[in-house]
């Protein structure tokens, strides 16, 4: 069996996390070995970098470099071995998040990240990216009171709006890989959308 690399993306509160376990079960029920992981994080080093980058103020380029440092470790130790073994890797965020947040949200030039992307995973891209899309107002309402907000969740609505726009631009640029899921309807309806996309993939 060949490995399958699936990533979930979207602005904070768009609902991707509600579907992670279900998605893993969907593949396990079909006999696939599933690795469920996340970024930033997914390794011991990556999780420590996550703590740092989500909670300490820093320059945007430092932020981007930390995201890719964590990603290097993640690709090497988790993603690549699982794919080589024929497994399904489901990652809660990957490089599209860096383009959306560091470039779209914070204004970093995309050329900077293109260099890092080639360096860190030049020959590896997700087979499918589910982009959960939701208005910033609805996403903010969903996030309210759920837990303590990290540095990105504390950003104002216009930051989230720029992140969302950057995600949608990437989806338009890579329509085969990045599929937009409407995050607005009830959970069951969102799930039905995902199942239709999975049916195309497997
Ligand atoms: P998130 O995935 O939303 O986790 P949780 O659901 O636990 O809050 O948190 C990760 C945050 O990191 C999110 O706000 C987006 C940000 N991020 C970037 O800015 N760049 C990146 O490359 C990645 C992977 C995440």
Second CATH level (architecture) for the domain 4-201: 3-Layer(aba) Sandwich (3.40)
Beta carbons of 8 and 93 less than 8 angstroms apart: yes
Say if residue 1's pLDDT is above 80: no
Rounded mean pLDDT, 164-173:
98
Segment 141-152 mean pLDDT: 85
Domain boundaries along the sequence of the chain:
4-201
CA-to-CA distance for 101 and 15, rounded, in angstroms?
17
Q: What is the pLDDT of residue 80?
A: 98
Distance 23 CA to ligand 1 centre (A): 19
Q: Across all residues in the chain, what is the average pLDDT?
A: 96
Residue of 91, 120, 117 whose CA lies nearest to 170: 117
**Collapsed DSSP state (helix, strand, coil) of residue 35:** strand
Nearest CA to 87 among 79, 75, 95?
79
The reported pTM is: 0.97
Q: What is the pLDDT of residues 86-123, one digit of tens each?
A: 999 999 999 999 999 999 999 999 999 999 999 999 99
Predicted local distance difference test score (pLDDT) of residue 202: 83
Phi, psi (rounded to 5 degrees) for 169:
-65, -40
Q: Is the CB of 9 under 6 A from ligand 1?
A: no
């Amino acid at each position: 069996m060949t490995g399958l690399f699936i990533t979930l993306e979207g602005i904070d509160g768009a609902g991707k996390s509600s579907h992670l376990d279900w998605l893993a079960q969907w593949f396990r029920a079909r006999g696939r070995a599933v690795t469920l992981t996340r970024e930033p994080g997914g390794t011991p080093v990556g999780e420590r970098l996550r703590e740092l980058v989500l909670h300490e103020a820093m320059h945007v380029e430092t932020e981007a470099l930390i995201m890719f440092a964590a990603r290097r470790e993640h690709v090497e130790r988790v993603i690549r071995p699982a794919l080589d073994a024929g497994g399904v890797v489901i990652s809660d965020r990957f490089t599209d998040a860096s383009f959306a947040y560091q470039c779209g949200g914070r204004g970093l030039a995309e050329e900077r990240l293109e260099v890092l992307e080639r360096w860190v995973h030049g020959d590896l891209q997700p087979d499918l990216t589910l982009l959960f899309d939701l208005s910033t107002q609805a996403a903010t309402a969903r996030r309210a009171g759920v837990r303590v907000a990290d540095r990105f969740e504390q950003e104002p609505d216009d930051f989230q709006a720029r992140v969302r726009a950057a995600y949608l631009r990437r989806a338009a640029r890579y329509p085969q890989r990045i599929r937009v899921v409407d995050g607005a309807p009830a959970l069951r309806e969102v799930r039905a959308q995902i199942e239709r996309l999975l049916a195309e993939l497997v």
